[in-house]
Amino acid sequence: MKRAFPILAILTALLLVYAFYEALWVAPMERTMGDVQRIFYYHVPSAWTAFLLFFVNLVASVVYLIWRSAKADAVALVSAEVGVVFCTVVLVTGPIWARPVWGIWWTWDIRLTTTLVLWLIYVSYLVLRRFSDSSQTPKLAAVLAIFGALDVPLVYFSIWFFRTQHPQPVIGGGGSIDPRMLHVLLINWLAFSCFAFLVCWWRYQLELLQRDLEEAQALEALLGDEGLPATPARARSPLNKTPSRPGTV
C-alpha cells in the first residue's frame, strides 16, 4: 500500500493538470456568461466530492456505532475534515461566480442554504471532536453525524418552500449541457475525487500513526521510563525517545 501512494500521487497530479487544461482551454466558451462560467468545472466537482465525503462520513459513523471499529472512526474523521475543505471550496467559488452572473454574492436559495447548513453541521462536528478529548469522542461524534444526516432533508424542505434561483442541476435536472462541457466536467470530477481520496488516505495513515503515538505515550506515562516492555505500539512510534507527557493518560 505504501508503495502505491507515490504512483497514485503522480497519476492524480497529471490528471489534475490535464483537467485544468481541459477546463481552461478545451471546454467551449459559454454563450451568455463567457469565461466566468469556467469556475463551474471547479464548483460542481467540489460539491459532488464534498457530498460524497459526507456520505462516507455517515456510513463510517453508523459502522462505528454498530461494530465499534476504530478504523471506521478514523475514516469518519478524515472524510469529515476533507469534506469540509471541499465544501468550503464550493461556498467560496459559488459567490465568485454569482457576483458577475446574478449580480449578487449570495442568495438564500435552496442549494446554497442547504450546502451552508451542511458546512455548519460538519464544522460543529469537527469542533466537537476537537473539544472532546476523552476516549468517548468517537461515540459522540458518530451520534452527531447521524443527527446531521437527519437534519439535511429537513433543511432542504424548509428552503424548498421559497423560490429557487440556483441553476437546475446539470445531471438529472431540467438544464441541458453541451456534451463537450459535460466531458470536461466529468474529467474534473474524476481528478478532484482522486485528489480527495489521496488526501484522505494520507490523513488516515497520519491519524492511525497519531493514535499509536498517543497510546504509546500514555503507556509510557503509566509505567515510567524504566523497565518498559517493548510493545508493538512503542516500537512503531517514531517519537519513543520523547519524555513522557503527564496528563495523557
Partner 1 sequence: MSSLRSIAVATLTKDIRLEWRSRDAINSMLFFSLLVVVIFSFSFDPNAEESREIAGGLIWVAFLFAAVVALNQTWARELRNQVLDAYRVSPAPANALFVAKALGNFILVSLLEALMAPLFMIFYNLRALGPAWQLIPVAILGTWALVVNGTFFAAMSLRTRSREIMLPLLLFPISIPAVQSMVEATRIILAGDGSARFWIVLLLTYDVVFTTACLGLFETILQAE
Q: Which secondary structure element, helix H or strand E, spans residue 231, and what is its range?
A: none
Smallest gap from Cβ 178 to partner 1, in A, equals 37
Is 147 near partner 1 (CB under 8 A)? yes
Least distance to partner 1 from the beta carbon of 122, Å?
9
DSSP letter at 37 equals G
Binding residue (CB under 8 A) for partner 1 from 10, 104, 127, 206: 127
What grid cell was written down for 177? 449541457
- Do 120 and 87 touch, CB atoms closer than 8 A? no
Q: Is 214 in the site for partner 1 (CB under 8 A)?
A: no
Residue closer to partner 1 (CB basis): 9 or 123: 123
d(CA 188, CA 21): 10
Q: Does 158 bind partner 1 (CB under 8 A)?
A: yes
Selected from 14, 146, 171, 222, the binder of partner 1 by CB under 8 A is: 146
Question: Torsion over CA of 89, 91, 92 and 97, rounded to 10 degrees?
Answer: 110
CB nearer partner 1, residue 150 or residue 171: 150
36 scored as a contact of partner 1 (CB under 8 A): no
Question: What distance lies between CA 11 and its chain's CA centroid?
Answer: 20
For the CB of residue 243, give the shortest distance to partner 1 in the complex, in Å: 24
Which positions from 38 to 77 touch partner 1 by CB under 8 A, shown as an x/- string? Answer: ---------------------------x------------
User: For 211, what's the count of Cα atoms within 13 Å in the CB-facing half-sphere?
Assistant: 13
Which CB atom, from 25 or from 131, has the smaller least distance to partner 1? 131
| Dihedral-angle region of residue 188 (phi above 0 means left; psi in -120 to 50 means alpha; beta otherwise) | alpha
**5 vs 147, beta carbon nearer partner 1:** 147
Residues in the chain: 249
CB of 89 to partner 1, least distance (A): 20
| 139 is a site residue for partner 1 (CB under 8 A) | yes
**16 and 193 Cβ atoms separated by less than 8 Å:** no
CA 190 to chain centre: 15
Name which position in 35, 92, 105, 133 contacts partner 1 (CB under 8 A).
Answer: 133
| Total interface residues for partner 1 by CB under 8 A | 29
